[in-house]
Amino acid sequence: MASSLASPLCKGVSLVILGSGEYELEQKCEQLRREYPDTCGIYIGYNDAIAHKIYAGCDYFLMPSLFEPCGISQMIAKRYGTLPIVRFTGGLADTVVGYNKDNLKVADGIGFNDYNDSGLGYAVGLSRELFADKKAFWTCVKNAMKCDHSWKNSASEYLKIYHSLAS
């Protein structure tokens, strides 16, 4: 998927990568940093302080997971006003309403389905298109920041279920 990220880096987009994973993917990310040292930064591993700076300082948060049973990073990003770009799987599909040009009133991120370069390329292209339309972009940011994935709401829903079972 690194090739889907190289083209935007040529066009003035900056990329910050934090995390660890499969060695081969880490090496592809390192290659991106070597090719685009002015626009690509990488931290292999995890650092909570850096993570929060990334959430706070970015326009988009890329989370192209193959498998994600829950996911919290996309919800943290939305609280910071950073739109998540996610592959629709598991908890990512449950917590992100992907912008599709017709759902501006509810969209709070960008999603894609195919776990390959064209799926990621589609999402990155759509994110650039959305960013160019400042009014639409800020509407999505506001939508994201209004999301409440707190336990308060979840607990209320669980109580409704328990009460309905007790009846």
The correct CATH number of 47-166 out of 3.40.50.620, 3.30.70.1060, 2.30.40.10, 3.40.50.2000 is 3.40.50.2000
Q: What is the pLDDT of residues 59-115, one digit of tens each?
A: 999 999 999 988 899 999 999 999 999 999 999 999 999 999 999 999 999 999 999
Taking 60 as the threshold, does the pLDDT of residue 1 lie above it?
no
Give the separation between CA 36 and CA 40, rounded to whole angstroms. 6
Strand pairing report for 15-19 and 60-63: unpaired
Residue 158's pLDDT band (cuts 50, 70, 90): confident
Q: Look at residue 153 and tell me whether its pLDDT is greater than 90.
A: no
pLDDT band at residue 154 under the 50/70/90 scheme? confident
- In the chain, the N- to C-terminal Cα span, in Å, equals 51
